Amino acid sequence: SAVISQKPSRDICQRGTSLTIQCQVDSQVTMMFWYRQQPGQSLTLIATANQGSEATYESGFVIDKFPISRPNLTFSTLTVSNMSPEDSSIYLCSVDSRLAGGSTDTQYFGPGTRLTVL
Amino acid sequence: SQKIEQNSEALNIQEGKTATLTCNYTNYSPAYLQWYRQDPGRGPVFLLLIRENEKEKRKERLKVTFDTTLKQSLFHITASQPADSATYLCALDIADSWGKLQFGAGTQVVVTP
């Protein structure tokens, strides 16, 4: 299995500012995923972070708002830019178990970053 | 587009009984379906995966069924315990993608002693 850590675990930010969330995996993986979970809602995939290429964004999410970096095979960052209260959510990174050396089609999730925008 | 529906009402159940959760989906035929557990303030934790050609899968006190005709999966927790109290999410693979999942909104289970 893969162990995933995220920083910060939570933050309270002012409207208009930006926050960068870090995700660290204890094994090398080619793809990492970033999800958002708004209060009372399900997880929604934001983008796929690919090492060595641009991130791939899902419908409704754009790079200007959620820039992603993937400098190496164990680390990724997601920035939430120009924040508004609507961005208040839990942000989670995950990896596919097959890409982390596993044999089954599951995903390992980080503990999440709880963001509150005032 | 794919849609996944889980019962939004919390399921309150007495310890020792069986909890049954439902996951319905439309507009898609997934290759597999997964169930996750999520505790407050934590990321989801994988529980079970069932493939389209499997009818049933078990893991300890957990059982999952998959009916591709009804487009439905049932998730059972037998001999439930207060420690089983959590939100349970179902997730489907997204067509033509590697590793991407679409999640249902989840159903909260509360097991009382």
Domain count of the fold of chain B: 1
Q: What is the pLDDT of residues A59-111, one digit of tens each?
A: 999 999 999 999 999 999 999 999 999 999 999 999 986 655 555 567 889 99
Which of A32, A83, A114, A80 minimizes the C-alpha distance to B43? A114
A43 has a chain B CB within 8 A of its CB = yes
Chain mean pLDDT for chain B: 91
Q: Which domain holds residue B73?
A: 3-112
3-state SS, residue A38: coil
Alpha carbon distance A69, A50 (integer Å): 9
Give me the pLDDT at residue A99, please.
Answer: 59
Beta carbons of B100 and A104 less than 8 Å apart = no
Asked whether the predicted pLDDT for residue B83 surpasses 80, the reply is yes
**pLDDT level of residue B95 (50, 70, 90 thresholds):** low
Class of domain A4-103: mainly beta
- B28 or B49, higher pLDDT: B49
Residues of B in contact with A23 (CB under 8 A): none
CB nearest to A42's CB, from B41, B99, B104: B104
CB nearest to B99's CB, from A31, A41, A44: A31
Residues of A in contact with B102 (CB under 8 A): 45
A42 has a chain B CB within 8 A of its CB = yes
Distance from CA of B82 to the nearest CA of A (A): 22
Q: From B94, which residue of chain A is nearest by alpha-carbon distance? A: A45
Domain ranges of chain A: 4-103
Mean pLDDT throughout B51-79? 94
Of A87-91, B49-53, B84-88, the poorest mean pLDDT is in: B49-53
Give me the pLDDT at residue A50, please.
Answer: 85
DSSP single-letter state for residue B2: -
- B18 or B52, higher pLDDT: B18
Beta carbons of B105 and A41 less than 8 Å apart = yes
Q: What is the pLDDT of residues A38-62, one digit of tens each?
A: 988 889 999 999 888 889 999 999 9
A111 has a chain B CB within 8 A of its CB = yes
Mean pLDDT throughout B48-52? 89
Side-chain-side CA neighbours of residue A49 (13 Å)? 27
Site of tokens 């078990």: B58
Interface contacts A/B by beta carbons within 8 Å: 60
Interface mutation vs chain B, best among A36, A61, A105, most B CBs within 10 Å: A105
Percent of chain A residues topping a pLDDT of 90: 73
CATH number, domain at B32? 2.60.40.10
Give me the pLDDT at residue A98, please.
Answer: 65
Alpha carbon distance B33, B83 (integer Å): 24
